[in-house]
Chain A
């Protein structure tokens, strides 16, 4: 790790960093820290992967019986 930023501070700022909500000097410090820190490199990669893995694992399809009950509701309305 570089002297000016600890892993813990970088972790706290990660979402703001990824949403481009940090001032440039702080962005630069995070980038230089991560580039030099293999633990943070692994952490950032897994942090970025998390939403995709959870999203794909929970892409539940609507069951056919719900489609039917919604049609019953739609017909009943007329």
Chain B
């Protein structure tokens, strides 16, 4: 996310925060308008439910409004905002104590005794026409359902790193983890989702 929202000559977030703290209410509105789509998408990806994601987006900006005076510029505004949104999504997920989802562990790669892939190259690949073969809406539902099946431990770093495209160090800062731990968890999520996507070749559109 670094650089995307502030690309070109757009006023930096941190400058808008300063204006807001100096009494310019419109500066807060600009921050909301600038970030609302990304906060919604983050919440939607973390929660898998549109209505919950809408509530969490709203809650996030209410919290940001209340807490902005305590923003210390120790991190980027966007990192701080994403931390609030991620925590709000986590609270919402816990509150709803969702139904137990089936683990994705069966999609892990298998190896023989020598450590060689048990599957063939064709079985290991993701069908190149997957995105054309499946209706976009169906693909979105299936993929989001698979993301939903990841344990929280892997889902959050994966969504932030690979879907929201924050860099690994920013994700580590946001989640309060070591960089190596973020890498390990994102890797685990990729491994499971890769296996899931390669299994979709059996699915007829």
Contacts and interface: CB of A to CB of B under 8 A. Distances in A.
Given A15-B186, A60-B40, A7 B162 contact: no
A36 B82 CA distance: 42
Most buried by B among A9, A65, A74: A74
A59 to B, nearest CB: 7
Interface string A25-65: 00000000000011111110111011101111111111101
A54 B162 contact: yes
**Best-surrounded residue of B120, B140, B147 (most CB of chain A within 10 A):** B140
B119 interface: yes
Interface stretch (B1-9, B11-19, B95-103, B121-129): B121-129
Contacts of A54: 143, 146-147, 162-163, 193, 197
B198 interface: yes
Contacts of B162: 50-51, 54-55
Interface in B68-122: 109, 111, 114-117, 119-122
Interface bin, chain A: 35 or more
A77 B143 CA distance: 38
Contacts of B175: none
A51 B146 CA distance: 13
B25 A77 contact: yes
B48 to A, nearest CB: 9
Nearest to B161: A51
Contact of A6 (B40, B114, B125, B187): B114
A1 B117 CA distance: 10
Interface of B: 25, 28-29, 32, 36-37, 40-41, 44-45, 50, 53-54, 57-58, 61-62, 65, 109, 111, 114-117, 119-122, 124-126, 130-131, 136, 139-140, 143-144, 146-147, 162-163, 165, 168, 183-184, 186-187, 190-191, 193-194, 197-198
Given A55-B163, A77-B65, 19 more contacts: A7-B117, A8-B111, A39-B121, A43-B109, A46-B194, A46-B198, A47-B194, A50-B162, A51-B163, A53-B130, A53-B131, A57-B144, A60-B44, A60-B140, A62-B57, A73-B58, A74-B28, A74-B29, A77-B25
